[in-house]
Chain A
Amino acid sequence: MNFALMWDSTPKLLGGLVLTLELVALSLLLGIFVAVGLALMRLSSYRALSGFAYAYVFVFRGTPLLVQIFLIYYGIGQFEAIRDSFLWPFLREPFWCAILAYTLNTGAYTSEIIRGGIESVPFTQIEAARACGMGRLLLFRRIVLPIAIRQALPAYGNEIMLMVKASSLASTITLMEVTGIARSIISKTFAPVEIFIVAGSIYLLINFAVSHAIRRAEYRLSAHLRAPPTPIVAVPVGVH
């Protein structure tokens, strides 16, 4: 085990951290929009919309992310029509192809999480809100959303961690994030085990941070489920 090599390559590997975090953050952000749209379509009463959403989720959850990435990067780039279109400046860059693939993918999974969250809101709450005359938008904002978010948080935390791990697949389309840099170092030093241990540890640390943050958020949001803090009563010193 070449510890000197592991020590030396750590700063180089950390150089890829920025790209990794960019990929994760941007895909998650854009993915939420896709997910909300899909969840609403799925819950709508129009068969065409809910059918499309169902098919979309089915396809994206049923195929490996690697196939989706390769289809978008190599597959779409094969067609002259795409290359002459206005989309090409985006699809030409591996970064945007990766973002597109990740966004579409996480959109599918997140839409299911959101749908699960919304459906888990007890109907009694909605009835009560309607009974006291709450409008639809206010109902959604003050009743459904907070409960749904609290319910969905653990699952979404999982999704964030899966996204961090998925970012390593971007190395297959020439992006130099942590895994990409690891592979290029290995190609020169021929020491795969040492380098991958360091790279793996970096991902592990990121995921620790994420799961810690999610647990804190869950804790903060579930204050109403814990015992109320005992009030501090001034103890009279000496009763008069």
Chain B
Amino acid sequence: MELLSFGDQGWGDEMLRAAAMTLAVSLSSMALGLVFGALGAAAKLSSIAPARWLAEGYTTVVRGVPELLVIYLLFFGGSGAVMFVAALFGYHGYVELNAFTIGTLAIGAICGAYATEVIRGAVLAVPRGEIEAAQAIGMPRRLMFRRILLPQVARFALPGLGNVWQFTLKDTALISVTGLVEIMRQAHIAAGSTRQPFTFYVVAAVLYLLLTTFSNHGFQRAESWANRGVRRAS
């Protein structure tokens, strides 16, 4: 067990730091994914056909292609694309896209595709009658969005978004190719260096379990808060 101790001899502190990094990447990817999801859902529900097609293409491709490939593509192609755009503006230097940024972009894009479907389903689940009533009394669109749509969409989307969060958390295990030191990569390094793969992958599994357990708990509390005052069948 001295392998897992803290300090220079053991890998314990590295694993915990890696867990913090996993959490950080997951949170920022989820935030980015929610933005993509909201935009995607808006595009899919809009009346502009090209927007619908673009969003449809986005969700179909990202949900149909293995995450490993999406991450590789964004890792190898992403910085090239960004630097191409930067070069158009006359900047020929190296654009700093560090591992964290790339990882967040990749997982965020994946998370966004799933979030699009969840949010779209949630928006469609808001009873039409309420929207019609709001329009009938002359509520301005922004107010309707804020007071009617948003709370209900949040309520309906929370279970689905909880699932998406779990996916996101677990998908971070795949971004070791970008060099970011999160749980999986750290376990990989430690296992290779010490020739004790079982120990370190078990530790990795336990860390992920802890993260998912606490997240689940958090989401359940959020769901009860969002459903306060609502009579439910179950």
Contact = CB atoms under 8 A, between A and B. Distances in A.
Interface residues on A, range: 35 or more
A196 B197 CA distance: 29
A68 B173 CA distance: 11
Contacts of B65: 165, 200, 203-204
Contacts, number: 106
A179 B69 CA distance: 8
B208 A67 contact: yes
A129 interface: no
Given A66-B174, A75-B202, A78-B197, A192 B72 contact: yes
B73 A200 contact: yes
A197 B201 contact: no
A34 interface: no
B77 A168 contact: no
Contacts of A204: 60-61, 64-65
B119 to A, nearest CB: 18
Contacts of A199: 69
Contacts of A182: 69
A75 B201 contact: yes
Interface in A125-152: none
A70 interface: yes
A68 B37 CA distance: 29
A30 interface: no
Contacts of B60: 204
Interface string A46-59: 00000000000011
B201 A71 contact: yes
Q: Ordered nearest first, which 8 A-B pairs have the shortest CB separation?
A: A75-B198, A168-B66, A74-B197, A64-B173, A64-B170, A62-B212, A207-B64, A192-B76
Contacts of A70: 187-188, 197, 201
A200 B77 contact: no
Interface in A161-202: 161, 164-169, 171, 179, 182, 192-193, 196-197, 199-200
Main SS class of interface, A: helix
Interface residues of B, number: 36
Interface of B: 60-61, 63-70, 72-73, 76-77, 80, 166, 170-171, 173-174, 184, 187-188, 191, 195-198, 201-202, 204-205, 208-209, 212-213
Contact of B197 (A68, A75, A168, A192): A75
A75 B201 CA distance: 7
A62 B197 contact: no
A63 interface: yes
Contacts of B187: 67, 70
Contacts of A76: 198
11 contacts: A59-B209, A63-B170, A63-B208, A64-B174, A67-B173, A71-B201, A75-B197, A75-B202, A169-B68, A179-B68, A203-B66
Contacts of A59: 205, 209
A200 B77 CA distance: 14
B191 A161 contact: no
A79 B198 contact: yes
Contacts of A153: none
Given A169-B66, A196-B69, A204-B64, 15 more contacts: A62-B166, A63-B212, A64-B174, A66-B184, A70-B188, A71-B205, A78-B198, A79-B198, A164-B66, A179-B69, A192-B76, A193-B73, A200-B61, A203-B66, A204-B61
A75 B196 CA distance: 8
A115 B80 CA distance: 47
B73 A67 contact: no
Contacts of A207: 64
A62 B208 contact: yes
